[in-house]
């Protein structure tokens, strides 16, 4: 078995001479080189690349150039995150909405910068947010400082160290950013690639009982809806999610829902009206949806692959 940290891995000429199980952790598209380095590893295999099995611990669905290979999407990362949110015993309070939408930005990916531009371009002001940068060099949207204290502050981002996302949500973001708002503008890590990934950002949005809009990303609404989540397609226009141009996937998430983002009264009324639907999503998470999904996937495999998946889920 080979285990790689996708965000750090760069292909450097390795040749796989026999079938391998390759575990890829984290987001793994190299935005600078515009490539999947895992793809180079498979392409240059000395044996048939289809004999290798690639296991993704973050990816839910891959519709890009690696789709031709033997891929297993096994969201053990989200299983752990989901479990930690449940164990944190967060008490939701969805009764006091004062903002139309929220957004949370840490690392400066292209769609997050575009979101900052769009918020100011359209004169959107009724929002709560977290912008964990020392200085905003994009525009004059204020930076924020939601920290426990020991975190490492960088020019654009904060390294949380040992602080878990569930605790960060409960102690720093629940009452200040998420629950005061009606809509979450969620910027998951994917931008260029056609790959579906969700993280704690989507968990926070659902725990807060907000209507979701994914700015950037790839077919997140489709994937969640196909697995039983309510993405409020009758309220939110998710037609942006599979546009060919990644910049348009980000921009049109805002443009096609601009009327709602400009209308606090309507957004608040929708959240009040659809409490049961919002609670349905939270219930799926409180029932450890992602752990259940991983266990179902594990049962679809045998032998060494099943053992590797079992070990990933058990960590």
Largest Cα–Cα separation, the chain? 62
For 84-99, give one letter per residue: b (16+ CB within 10 A) or e: bbeebebebebeebeb
Pick out the chain residues at pLDDT < 50.
none
What are the structure tokens assigned to 231, written together? 């993405």
What are the structure tokens assigned to 262, written together? 């400009």
What integer pLDDT is reported at residue 99 of this predicted model? 98
Rounded Cα distance, 198 and 50, in Å: 27
Beta strands in 111-168 (DSSP E): 127-131, 152-154, 157-159
What integer pLDDT is reported at residue 295 of this predicted model? 97
Of 94, 92, 104, 125, nearest in space to 264 by CA: 125
Alpha-carbon separation of residue 289 from 64, 294, 296 (angstroms): 26, 9, 11
Rounded Cα distance, 170 and 23, in Å: 31
Across the strands, what pairs with 184?
A: 102, 212
């Amino acid at each position: 078995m080979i285990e790689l940290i996708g965000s750090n891995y760069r292909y450097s000429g390795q040749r796989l001479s026999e079938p391998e199980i390759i575990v890829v952790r984290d987001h793994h598209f190299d935005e600078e080189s515009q490539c999947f380095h895992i793809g180079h590893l498979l392409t240059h295999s000395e044996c048939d690349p289809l004999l290798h099995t690639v296991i993704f611990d973050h990816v839910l669905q891959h519709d890009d150039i690696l789709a031709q290979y033997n891929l297993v999407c096994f969201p053990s990362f989200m299983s752990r995150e989901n479990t930690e949110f449940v164990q944190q015993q967060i008490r939701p309070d969805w009764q006091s909405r004062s903002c139309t939408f929220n957004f949370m930005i840490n690392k400066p990916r292209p769609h997050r910068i575009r979101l900052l531009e769009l918020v100011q371009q359209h004169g959107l002001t009724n929002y709560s947010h977290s912008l964990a940068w020392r200085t905003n060099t994009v525009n004059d949207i204020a930076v924020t400082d939601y920290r426990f204290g020991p975190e490492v502050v960088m020019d654009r981002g904060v390294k949380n160290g040992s602080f878990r996302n569930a605790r960060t949500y409960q102690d720093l973001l629940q009452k200040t950013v998420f629950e005061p708002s009606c809509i979450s503008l969620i910027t998951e890590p994917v931008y260029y690639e056609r790959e579906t990934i969700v993280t704690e950002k989507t968990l926070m949005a659902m725990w807060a009982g907000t209507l979701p809009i994914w700015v950037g990303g790839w077919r997140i609404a489709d994937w969640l809806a196909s697995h039983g989540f309510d993405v409020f397609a009758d309220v939110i226009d998710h037609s942006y999610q599979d546009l060919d141009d990644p910049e348009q996937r980000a921009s049109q998430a805002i443009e096609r829902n601009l009327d709602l983002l400009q209308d606090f009264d309507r957004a608040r009324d929708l959240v009040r009206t659809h409490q049961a639907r919002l609670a349905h999503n939270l219930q799926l998470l409180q029932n450890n949806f992602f752990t259940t999904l991983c266990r179902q996937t594990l049962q679809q495999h045998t032998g060494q692959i099943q053992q590797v998946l079992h070990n990933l889920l058990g960590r």
